[in-house]
Amino acid sequence: MPTIQTTLAHELSLSAAQVAAVIALVDEGNTIPFIARYRKEATGGMDDAQLRAFDERLTYLRNLEARKDEVLRAIDEQGKLTPELRAKIEDAAVMQRVEDLYKPYKKKRATRASKARDAGLEPLALLILAQGRNALSPLAQAAGLVNAEAGFPTPEAALQGAQDIVAEVIADDAEHTEALRNFTKRTGALAVEAVDPQEKTVYEAYYDFSEPLSRIPNHRVLAVNRGEKEGKLRAKVRVDADAAIEQLERRVVRNPASPFAPVLREAAADGYKRLMAPALDREMRSLLTERAQADAIKVFAKNTESLLSQRPVRGARVIAIDPGYRTGCKVAVLDEYGKLLDFTTVYPTPPRSEVRKTQDKLAEFVKRHRANTIVIGNGTGSSETEEVVADLIAKSDAPLRYTIVNEAGASVYSASKLASEEYPDLDVTTRGAMSLGRRLQDPLAELVKIPPQSIGVGQYQHDLNQAELGCALAGVVERVVNRVGVDLNTASASLLGYVSGVSATVAKNIVAYREEHGRISDRRELKKVPKLGAKAYQNCAGFLRVTGGANPLDATSVHPESYLVARELLKRAKVKPEALARGGVPDIAGRLGDLPALAAELGVGLPTLRDIVAELEKPGRDPRDSAPEVVFSKGIRSFDDLAPGMELTGTVRNVVDFGAFVDVGVKQDGLVHVSKLSDRFVKHPSEVVAVGDTVTVWVTAVDKDRGKISLSMVREKL
């Protein structure tokens, strides 16, 4: 029987030493980001994604072993655990197999079979299953087991009771279940119909719909599920029942000449129709949903990572506008560090349409606060507000530009307890406008304040398993935050809470410590923060940066445990540590010479040494600087301006299974279908584009009545 370690090594193509090392590191309480960055020698250089997959699989296998122990103990207590059954359970590779093997021994509610057993009909059921050549016919055998008091007053009723037992035995058999499960997966289809065929709904494409289980795309599964939930669709797994029963009969009828064979066939057919088919229908629907949800969560996570990894717009002094109609547009002015300078409400949109007054107010803010960038939320009133801003810029001599930002989740943040704690003296609407502006200045620092599910870069997010979605997205945020690093003296508690080893409570304690003691000047001060123990310090220290502190290494991603090595490298390169604060030592690798030999001499792993050298070359580098730049505008194009063949530059706002939505500067995002993303076959849009990418597209169709824009990223297909 393979062990957890050998299973992981085989499945993930890892060495036994790697597996043992990672398990030990995880069990010691080390976080995935810490292991990925600072324990490369032990893991063989496994990255964050590989380690998370490893951890997820390790958890599953450990839960599987725990469940096996529970099942073995439960069957043994019944006195029914045979060596053969024990071996099957111990060899089970998936949880489903364990449950299949346990099913005959699991306590059930009262069933037709249990009623028959209580009436003493099990001996006849065993005769039927044995398929012998008894002198007496099945009905004659049943005559001796008539039990009127138990509800079996005639031989026919007694025989039927015995058949009920046989049907349940067949349906509970793990091997039969697995065979029919595979048959259903291979040949079944999801059949969908309308609850009311006359009603006009968004689900009309599914009113008379069928697609094989093996081929139905995940987004269609989720669409059907939502239609069912809303009471507009009915769906079931359709399979050839006659073929399924025939397959089951071939498995159970070993002696066709036996007088019990016809009775056994009837029992098998009943077992399939009454017990197996409904269970397999539920199981197939569940498997489809799990598969679709897992894929949707993966897409959501990838989109979220791209969104959080967008390049910050440094040096932008922002006028942020949260558009609206009746209540007006909320305006917040921020300096380049996100500090609120001014705020007001303007009414450029209907019903008041105070365009001139709005432009005068914005021009005043530009002059008074030296604003150079205007940010507009993409919600209600965005298009009209954009027209006003574009006209202002056209008439202004100031170096102004504007862009549209996705305001998904802004209202969630502005009304949250966190926002109230951060800005108790501001109303909800002003907080929302501030959030929009800060999303441009530093997307990561601002978006971590919002539950990832509310960011709005996925599909069917409200229909997904919220616990699994939350766990996946939290992992994504943690990965991005730790990849970028966090300024210990300016980070909010929300941002600090995603740092490796820092809990929400410790994050608040760090902020409280700063408020009480002032600026933190040394990483070692973290040890004074309440509830931040030695293990937490080890996990978090390398990801928390102290700029302008006493030790220049504190502003880098070099872990304190490697400071001695880093100082020795600087010494050998004949550079003082203070050089790190002046941009680093670009030629340090050349000065040090043979790194493998140096690693051996210093007693440090080569991957760690290379990471230290890279950090000394360019201290505190931000990986987001390699992301596409934000697309700014100075003029505006309207929906009416669009025409087939037009070439545009846009920003990818969302990536879903069937394509990508691109903002091309009008209120409605355009869709690039997966078939028009590339001139090669694309299995999933995420292979080609990511949220935040700047792309060139061509308009293929404009549906003004429905407000839809069709785009292509392949010119020759137009």
Q: Please give the pLDDT value at position 717.
A: 45
pLDDT tens for residues 659-707?
999 988 776 889 999 999 998 898 889 889 988 888 889 999 988 888 8
Q: How confident is the model at residue 194 (pLDDT cuts 50, 70, 90)?
A: very high
258 and 151 within one domain:
yes
Residue 536 lies in a domain: no
Residue 165 lies in a domain: yes
Q: What mean pLDDT is reported for the chain?
A: 92
86 and 36 within one domain:
yes
pLDDT tens for residues 321-336?
999 999 999 999 999 9
Q: What is the spatial distance between Cα 143 and Cα 137, in angstroms, rounded to a whole number?
A: 10
Q: What is the CATH number of the domain that holds 279?
A: 1.10.3500.10
119 and 78 within one domain:
no
Residue 14 lies in a domain: yes
pLDDT tens for residues 247-287?
999 999 999 989 999 999 999 999 999 999 999 999 999 99
- Which of 1-5, 85-89, 491-495, 636-640 is the most confident on average? 85-89
* Residue of 668, 643, 631, 645 whose CA lies nearest to 717: 645
8-22, 180-194, 445-459: lowest mean pLDDT where? Answer: 445-459
132 and 265 within one domain:
yes
- Contact residues for 371 (Cβ-Cβ < 8 A; gap 6+): 317, 318, 319, 333, 365, 400
Give the three-class secondary structure for 675. Answer: helix
Mean per-residue pLDDT, 646-653: 84
Q: Please give the pLDDT value at position 1.
A: 65
Q: What is the CATH number of the domain that holds 411?
A: 3.30.420.140
Give, in order, the Cα–Cα distances in Å from 574 to each of 480, 580, 600, 619.
Answer: 34, 13, 20, 17
Residue 570 lies in a domain: no
Long-range contacts of 6-14 (CB under 8 A, 24+ apart): 7/61, 7/93, 8/54, 8/57, 8/58, 8/61, 11/57, 12/50, 12/53, 12/54, 12/57, 14/44, 14/46, 14/54
Mean per-residue pLDDT, 365-393: 91
Q: How confident is the model at residue 627 (pLDDT cuts 50, 70, 90)?
A: confident
What string of H, E and C letters represents the secondary structure of 269-303? HHHHHHHHHHHHHHHHHHHHHHHHHHHHHHHHHHH
Checking if the pLDDT of 587 tops 70, the result is yes
The better pLDDT of the pair 693, 5 is held by 5
150: which 2 tokens? 């138990």
Q: Please give the pLDDT value at position 382.
A: 86
CA 459, 460, 465, 470 dihedral sign is: positive
pLDDT tens for residues 387-438?
899 999 988 888 899 998 888 888 888 888 888 888 888 889 899 999 999 9
* Token pair 């088919």 in the structure block, residue: 277
Which domain range does residue 680 map to? Answer: 639-712
Checking if the pLDDT of 73 tops 70, the result is yes
704: which 2 tokens? 């003004």
Q: Please give the pLDDT value at position 559.
A: 97
Task: Tally the domains of the chain.
Answer: 4
Q: What is the CATH number of the domain that holds 18?
A: 1.10.10.650
605: which 2 tokens? 């792993």
Q: Please give the pLDDT value at position 704.
A: 82
697 and 650 within one domain:
yes
Mean per-residue pLDDT, 525-550: 95
Last residue of a domain, one of 105, 137, 170: 105
Checking if the pLDDT of 552 tops 90, the result is yes
Checking if the pLDDT of 232 tops 90, the result is yes
116 and 76 within one domain:
no
Q: Please give the pLDDT value at position 135.
A: 67
238: which 2 tokens? 């359709």
379 and 244 within one domain:
no
Last residue of a domain, one of 90, 105, 120: 105
Q: Where are the alpha helices (DSSP H) in 150-252?
A: 155-172, 174-187, 218-229, 241-252
Residue 595 lies in a domain: no
Residue 211 lies in a domain: no
178 and 29 within one domain:
no
Mean per-residue pLDDT, 14-37: 96
Checking if the pLDDT of 633 tops 80, the result is no
Residue 608 lies in a domain: no
* Residue of 557, 551, 585 whose CA lies nearest to 571: 585
* Token pair 């039990």 in the structure block, residue: 147
19-33, 104-118, 444-458, 570-584: lowest mean pLDDT where? Answer: 444-458
What string of H, E and C letters represents the secondary structure of 621-672? CCHHHHCCCCCCECCCCCHHHCCCCCEEEEEEEEEECCEEEEECCCCCCEEE
Q: Please give the pLDDT value at position 718.
A: 41
95 and 122 within one domain:
no
274 and 156 within one domain:
yes
132 and 101 within one domain:
no
Residue 684 lies in a domain: yes
* Crossing angle of the two packed helices 4-12 and 48-77, in degrees rounded to 10: 140
pTM over cut 0.85: no
Q: Please give the pLDDT value at position 375.
A: 95
Q: What is the CATH number of the domain that holds 659?
A: 2.40.50.140
Q: What is the spatial distance between Cα 43 and Cα 290, in angstroms, rounded to a whole number?
A: 31
Percent of the chain residues past pLDDT 70, beyond the cut: 98
347 and 455 within one domain:
yes
- Contact residues for 472 (Cβ-Cβ < 8 A; gap 6+): 297, 298, 300, 301
Last residue of a domain, one of 54, 79, 105: 105
Percent of the chain residues past pLDDT 90, beyond the cut: 72
Give, in order, the Cα–Cα distances in Å from 558 to each of 543, 549, 615.
Answer: 9, 15, 7
Mean per-residue pLDDT, 348-376: 94
